[in-house]
A and B are shown apart, each in its own frame.
Chain A
Amino acid sequence: MFVEGERIVDVKIRIGYNHRGIEYLSQRRTIHQIPMLVERICGICSHTHPLCYCQAVEEAMGVEPPDRARYIRTIIAELERIHSHLLWAGVALHLIGYDSLFMYFWRYREPICMLFELLTGNRQSYAVNCVGGVRRDIDVPRHRDRVMRTLKEVGDGVRRLEGMLLEDPLVKARLVGVGVLTRDDARRYCVVGPTARGSGIPIDVRVCEPYAAYAEVGVDIKVFSEGDVMAKTLVRVQEVVESIEIVERALDAMPGGPLRAELPEPPVSEGIGKTEAPRGENIHYVRLNGTVVPERHKVRAPTYANIPSLVPQLLGETIADAPIVIGSIDPCLSCTDRLSVVDAETGKPLGITYEKLVHMSRKKSRRVLRSA
Chain B
Amino acid sequence: MSLSPKAQPILDKLVERFGEKILWKQVRSERRAYVAIPREAIVECANYVFNELRGRLSTISAVDVGGGFELLYHFTFDEANLVLTLRCTAPKTDPAVDSITPLIPGAEFIEREIMDLFGLVFRNHPNPERLILAESLPPDFHPLRKDWGEKISRK
- Direct A/B contact, Cβ within 8 angstroms: yes
Residue A337 at the chain B interface, CB threshold 8 Å: yes
Give me 8 A-to-B residue pairs in the complex whose CB atoms sit less than 8 angstroms apart, sorted by A's number. A189-B105, A190-B56, A202-B78, A209-B81, A285-B74, A298-B61, A309-B106, A340-B143
B78 and A203 contacting across the interface, CB-CB below 8 Å: yes
B29 and A274 contacting across the interface, CB-CB below 8 Å: no
Among A17, A24, A190, A295, residue most surrounded by chain B Cβ atoms (within 10 Å): A190
Partner of B58, one of A23, A190, A308: A190
A342 contacts which chain B residues (CB < 8 A)? 133-134, 137, 141, 143
Determine if A281 and B144 form an interchain contact, defined as CB atoms under 8 angstroms apart.
no
In the complex, what residues of B have CB within 8 A of residue A274's CB?
58, 76, 83
Report the separation of the CA atoms of residues A271 and B63 in the bound assembly, to the nearest whole angstrom: 14
Q: Establish whether residues B143 and A24, one from each chain, have CB atoms under 8 Å apart when the complex forms.
A: yes
The answer on a CB contact under 8 Å between B63 and A287 is yes
In contact, A23 and B105 (Cβ under 8 angstroms): no
Asked if B122 is an interface residue, CB under 8 A from chain A, the answer is no
Majority SS of interface residues in chain A?
mixed
With a cutoff of 8 Å between Cβ atoms, the chain B residues found around residue A296 in the complex are: 61, 63-64
Residue of B56, B63, B108 near A187 (CB, 8 A) is B56
| Residues of B with C-beta under 8 A to A271 | 28, 32
Least CB separation from B101: chain A residue: A308
Looking at A2-10, A133-141, A253-261, A299-307, the stretch in contact with chain B turns out to be A299-307
In this assembly, does B104 line the interface, its C-beta being within 8 Å of a C-beta of chain A? yes
Report how far A19 CA is from B117 CA in the complex, Å.
Answer: 12
Which residues of A sit under 8 angstroms from B85, Cβ to Cβ? 272
A347 neighbours in B (Cβ, 8 Å): 138, 141, 152, 155
Taking CB as reference atom, which chain A residue is nearest B61?
Answer: A298
Q: Which residue from A21, A272, A285, A300 sits with its C-beta under 8 Å from B143? A: A21
B143 touches A17 (CB 8 A): no
Task: List, in ascending order, chain B residues with CB within 8 A of A344's CB.
Answer: 134, 136-137
Q: Chain B 103-139, CB within 8 Å of chain A: the 1/0 string?
A: 0111111100100010000000000000111101110
Q: How far, in Å, is B107 (CB) from chain A's closest CB?
A: 8
Shortest beta-carbon distance, B19 to chain A, in Å? Answer: 24
Q: Tell me how many residue pairs across A and B have CB atoms closer than 8 Å.
A: 98
B16 within 8 A of A: no
Q: How far is the CB of A54 from chain B (nearest CB, A)?
A: 16
Report Cα–Cα, A76/B145, bound state, in Å: 36
Q: How far is the CB of B85 from chain A (nearest CB, A)?
A: 7
Contact between chains at B105 and A304 (CB < 8 Å): no
Q: How far is the CB of A289 from chain B (nearest CB, A)?
A: 10
Q: How far is the CA of A122 from the CA of B133 in the complex (A)?
A: 34
Q: Check B81 against A208 for contact (C-beta < 8 Å).
A: yes
By the criterion CB–CB under 8 Å, are B63 and A209 in contact?
A: no
Best-buried of A209, A272, A281, A347 by chain B (most CB within 10 Å): A272
A69 CB to closest chain B CB (Å) equals 19
Q: How far does the alpha carbon of A203 sit from the alpha carbon of B81 in the complex, in Å?
A: 11
Contacts of A287 in B (CB 8 A): 63
CA A208 – CA B105 in complex, angstroms? 23
**Chain B residue nearest to A202 in the complex (CB):** B78
A188 and B104 form a contact (CB under 8 A): yes
Contact A24 B155 (CB under 8 A): no
Please pick, from A23, A337, A348, the residue contacting B144 in the complex, using a CB distance under 8 A.
A23
Known interface pairs A15-B132, A337-B132; A308-B106 also in contact (CB < 8 Å): yes
Give the CA-CA distance A308 to B131 in the complex, in Å. 12
Chain A residues within 8 Å of B64, by CB: 296
Q: B25 on the interface (CB 8 Å rule)? A: no
A308 to B126: give the CA distance in the assembly, Å.
14
- Residue A59 lies at the interface, judged by CB distance under 8 Å to chain B: yes
Cβ contact within 8 Å between A283 and B74: yes
Checking A23, A24, A295, A308 against B108 with a beta-carbon cut-off of 8 angstroms, the contacting residue is A308
